[in-house]
Structure 1
Amino acid sequence: MSSSFVVRTARDTDAERITAIEADADRMLIDLFQAEAWPAPDSAALRLRAPGTVLVCASPSHDVVGFAHLLEQDGHAHHEQLSVLPRLGRRDSVACS
């Protein structure tokens, strides 16, 4: 049985969840790199007002489980940030609509 996730433009109401997802994903990197200091995630409210587009991935139950912040810089696409809940990362395939 496959699960369908939906990719959509982020809303202001997603800000708190986006910040929490980035913090969870950062903890995985902190452990991996054994970092003694790591900056706190940017405020998602600020990220949502920054240039570019923030997309979220929502689960079938409509919970936001990941996000991507995309920018255009000097006429080129730039992937500023990608974070997914660690428990949902590294899957072979996920169906999106």
Structure 2
Amino acid sequence: MSELVRDDDVAGQVTADLLQRPTVARRVMRDDTARMVVNRAQFDNSEQTREQTREQIREQIREQIRERTPAVRQIEHPIEYPGSSSPRPKSPLPARTSRRTRH
């Protein structure tokens, strides 16, 4: 039997087909080693799926940033930076007044 399923793809398909038989699945799950290997494979598959999902989300975010970055570069700043020769516009907020402390 092991000679016939030397290829992992074939072995996986044969195993999946056999485990669809309820009596075979129950018998396999009584074997501690088989159950442990199946549980480990389930955990590994879940972890791989989570990592792929995370990477897809990261790539979507990168793509959104790439799409939006040209627009950000084109934004003009209405207020000049300090040290420039142009006067700065007046603030819409009232000027601060100093408070005197009483002794």
Taking structure 2 as the reference length, the TM-score comes to 0.26
Which structure is higher in RCO with an 8 Å CA cutoff and minimum separation 6?
1
Q: Higher helix share goes to which structure? A: 2
Q: In terms of Rg, which structure is larger?
A: 2
Taking structure 1 as the reference length, the TM-score comes to 0.27
